[in-house]
Chain A
Amino acid sequence: MAPLVGIVANPVSASDIRRIVSNASTLQVTDRANIILRVLSALRACGVKDVLMMPEKSGIRRHITRAYERAVNLKEDIFPELHVVRQDITSTVRDTLLATAAMREAGCKIIIVLGGDGTHRAVVSQCGDIPIAGISTGTNNAFPEHREPTITGLAVGLAAMGRVPDTIAFEGNKRLDVTIGDTVKDIAIVDVAVVTERFVGAKAIWKPENFRELFVTFSDPEVIGMSAIAGLLEPVSRRDDHGLMVKLAPPHEAKTILNVPFAPGIIGGIGINEVQRMQVGVPYKLDFPAGTIALDGERELAFDQSDDVTITLVNDAFRTVNVSGIMRYASQNGLMKVGAQKQ
């Protein structure tokens, strides 16, 4: 039987420089493994029998293997069969890209993602039509919703077993395409930020005096990171058919200064010059001549005057699992009653 559900767990999210500059959390490997075990139990409780997981060599799988051994010893039938994608392990984002492609090839119905915005972005770049369900284990995490992973596992299990109509179980999401010349070079699922640093280096962005432009698919005043800037200016929901564009400046040159939690534990003045809604399908040209483009919080693409860079909002670009919708449907329709499982 083909695995119904794939799991991509990034073992190295939440280990960048923001641990130093902003007291950001460290999520330990054992915690990541425990999250996966809770998800696996929830999937099994919904009838999912096969799960396909990304390989890694940071210790997550070893902890899971020990838990499976304990379950056998204790005669507990609480986990699905766990399969692992066969691929070389590089401990880079390549592992996520290859594993996601393999899950798509294997016919997974849903992919569960453990990571921050960057990990989710990597999965989205490869998952095609397969819906994803996010679990936050990164630093900024505007994209994955914060909830107990057991509930995410239950929602995914119910959806994967076909017990919830697709119209309720899945939702469309926006995406930002970064085009240089005629080529889409990369994507973002939450925000594209233009910063003055002209090298990628340690990737994270945390110096507000260097922020220049911001494009967001959605903005929420309750999240942290670059999209928090937009969220405190004009909230835009994930379902709205527009995004937001913000022109930024060093605070001493800006029309307005806004106090924003742009990194965990750091609330600082961000210079705002202009706010404008982004329309779907319209390419927006960058104003700033040379710098780096940060995608979902990480510097990825350096550019200069010779590059013609545009940002375009795309609607219905990929699907996510609507966990709260599924759980409400489960409640209203008694899906969790003993004996109610679909035969």
Chain B
Amino acid sequence: MSNNPFPLPKEKLLEAYTKMKTIREFEERLHVEFAKGDIPGFVHLYAGEEASGTGIMMHLEDKDRIASTHRGHGHCIAKGVEVEGMMAEIYGKVTGSCRGKGGSMHIADLSKGMMGANGILGAGAPLICGAALASKFRGDGGVGITFFGDGASNQGTVLESMNLAAVWNLPVIFVVENNGYAESTSIDYAVAVDSYIDRAAGFGIPGVTVDGTDFFAVYEAAGEIIKRAREGGGPAFLECKMVRFFGHFEGDAQTYRAKGENEENRANKDCLKIFRSKVAGAGVISEAEMNKIDDEVLARIEASVQKAKKDPLPTAKDLLTDVYVSY
């Protein structure tokens, strides 16, 4: 009998850990770098939420499309977008994923099926319905995943897209990453029917709630949902209950949080710690192996920051290139 009790082989577990750790260090470093004032625009950090994006994306291929949110760095990394291009993009450099014209909230890489982070709340849902409709017509077995937060779940675009996906039986998975706050507003104040599963049921879409801090819970539920969608079973809804370690945006004083909440989240709801404890406890991956990955990830993030700082900015003549697409 294999000594690996998990539903992924060791190399895939290592890949998942590497992705989650890369997201974490990417965001922790941006937290530091943004405070220095070198980064234009805003950044919204995904730290604490890594198990959700990674647990879902481990089931996807490049042909599968995702539509992300303003908090999109983690989705990009989990979907396979290169960290170096992302960092350069966030610094507004011409070497960035979108040649420095998008910034944090518009990172996209269609070659990886990443349709873009999105500064407009709830705007990813209709986009992904279009992508899923294309996959359905082509019969390529592709699925579309749209992520949104508990705040954006109230947007009309999300609700309209759920209706459309149900009516057309599209291979779409609606993922609400519920970290409990719409910017600074607790869901207790802002959502009339707090159960997202109830909302999905209103459209005839089945929904599942999982512990978004547990990679394996997300991975298993997402696997069933994605398989069902690929095989023509139609849309589904996944709620990942999670925490975010930082504020809504960098600079957010987080006065809306309870005293000690961030410390409690870091101590007991850290999805990386939970993952490490499980795989090391089962004797599948050693602490030393994960520490080695940690070192490699840190070095990669450090190199990506240094490169991004040195890379050139776009010039005035780049203003109108790559902006319009002729059909």
User: Does B associate with A?
Assistant: yes
- Is B208 a contact partner of A200 (Cβ separation < 8 A)? no
A58 at the interface (CB under 8 A from B): yes
- Is chain B's binding surface mostly helix, strand, loop or mixed? mixed
Contact with A along B67-96 (1 / 0, CB 8 A): 000000000000000000000000000000
Min Cβ gap B24→A in Å is 22
Segment of A8-16, A119-127, A216-224 engaged in the interface with chain B = A8-16
With contacts A201-B216, A201-B219 taken as known, whether A26 is within 8 angstroms of B208 at the C-beta atoms is no
Q: Which of B1, B7, B191, B206 contacts A19 (CB 8 A)?
A: B206
Min Cβ gap B322→A in Å is 40
- Is chain A's binding surface mostly helix, strand, loop or mixed? loop
With contacts A26-B198, A26-B201 taken as known, whether A17 is within 8 angstroms of B208 at the C-beta atoms is yes
- Give the tally of cross-chain contacts (CB within 8 A): 89
Q: Which of B198, B201, B216, B221 contacts A17 (CB 8 A)?
A: B221
- Is A203 a contact partner of B5 (Cβ separation < 8 A)? no
Min Cβ gap B185→A in Å is 14
- Is A30 a contact partner of B193 (Cβ separation < 8 A)? yes
Contact with B along A289-305 (1 / 0, CB 8 A): 11000000000001010
Q: Which residue of chain B lies nearest to A291 when distances are taken between CB atoms in the complex?
A: B5
Q: Which of A21, A91, A290, A304 contacts B224 (CB 8 A)?
A: A21
Min Cβ gap B268→A in Å is 10
Which residues of A from 13 to 43 have beta carbons under 8 Å from B? 15-17, 19-21, 23, 26, 28-30
B207 at the interface (CB under 8 A from A): yes
**A21–B210 alpha-carbon span in the complex (Å):** 15
Please, which residues of chain B bring their CB within 8 A of the CB of A15?
195, 197, 207-209, 239
B194 at the interface (CB under 8 A from A): yes
Please, which residues of chain B bring their CB within 8 A of the CB of A198?
5-6, 282
A57 at the interface (CB under 8 A from B): yes
Min Cβ gap A206→B in Å is 9
Min Cβ gap B178→A in Å is 10
- Is B220 a contact partner of A202 (Cβ separation < 8 A)? yes
Q: What size tier do the contact residues of chain B reach? A: 20 to 34
Please, which residues of chain B bring their CB within 8 A of the CB of A20?
206, 208, 221, 224-225, 228, 236
Please, which residues of chain A bring their CB within 8 A of the CB of B209?
12, 15-16
**A26–B193 alpha-carbon span in the complex (Å):** 14
B188 at the interface (CB under 8 A from A): yes
Min Cβ gap A163→B in Å is 37
B182 at the interface (CB under 8 A from A): no
Q: Which residue of chain B lies nearest to A23 when distances are taken between CB atoms in the complex?
A: B206
A199 at the interface (CB under 8 A from B): yes
The number of chain A residues with a CB under 8 A from chain B is 28
- Is A199 a contact partner of B193 (Cβ separation < 8 A)? no
- Is A57 a contact partner of B188 (Cβ separation < 8 A)? yes
Contact with B along A265-306 (1 / 0, CB 8 A): 000000000000000000000000110000000000010100
Please, which residues of chain A bring their CB within 8 A of the CB of B191?
59
**A290–B283 alpha-carbon span in the complex (Å):** 14
Which residues of B from 224 to 250 have beta carbons under 8 Å from A? 224-225, 228, 236, 239, 241
- Is A59 a contact partner of B224 (Cβ separation < 8 A)? no
- Is A59 a contact partner of B194 (Cβ separation < 8 A)? yes
Contact with A along B1-28 (1 / 0, CB 8 A): 1000111000000000000000000000
Please, which residues of chain A bring their CB within 8 A of the CB of B6?
198-199
Please, which residues of chain B bring their CB within 8 A of the CB of A19?
197, 206-208
Q: A29-B198, A59-B195, A202-B208 are in contact. List 12 more A-B contacts (CB 8 A).
A: A11-B194, A15-B208, A15-B239, A17-B208, A17-B220, A19-B197, A23-B206, A29-B193, A59-B192, A197-B5, A200-B217, A202-B216
Chain B residues close to A by CB (< 8 Å):
1, 5-7, 187-188, 191-195, 197-198, 200-201, 206-210, 214, 216-217, 219-221, 224-225, 228, 236, 239, 241, 278, 282
